Amino acid sequence: MVVAIVVIALVLVALTGAALSVRIRKQYERAVVFRLGRVQGGARGPGLIAIVPLVDRVHRASLRIVTTRCTPDSRPNYG
Across the chain, mean pLDDT equals: 89
pLDDT of residue 39: 92
Do the bridges between strand 38-44 and strand 29-35 make them parallel or antiparallel, or are there none, so unpaired?
A: antiparallel
Regions in the chain scoring below 70 on pLDDT:
79
If one counts the domains in the chain, the total is: 1
Nearest to 36 by CA among 17, 15, 51, 20: 51
Q: Which domain holds residue 26?
A: 2-72
Residue-wise pLDDT tens digits, 50-65: 898 889 999 999 999 9
Residue 39 maps to a domain: yes
Residue 79 maps to a domain: no
pLDDT of residue 79: 60
Residue 64 maps to a domain: yes
pLDDT of residue 41: 85
Listing from the earlier edge strand, what are the strands of the sheet with 56-62? Answer: 38-44, 29-35, 56-62
- From start to end of the chain, where are the E strands? 22-25, 29-35, 38-44, 47-50, 56-62
Residue 78 maps to a domain: no
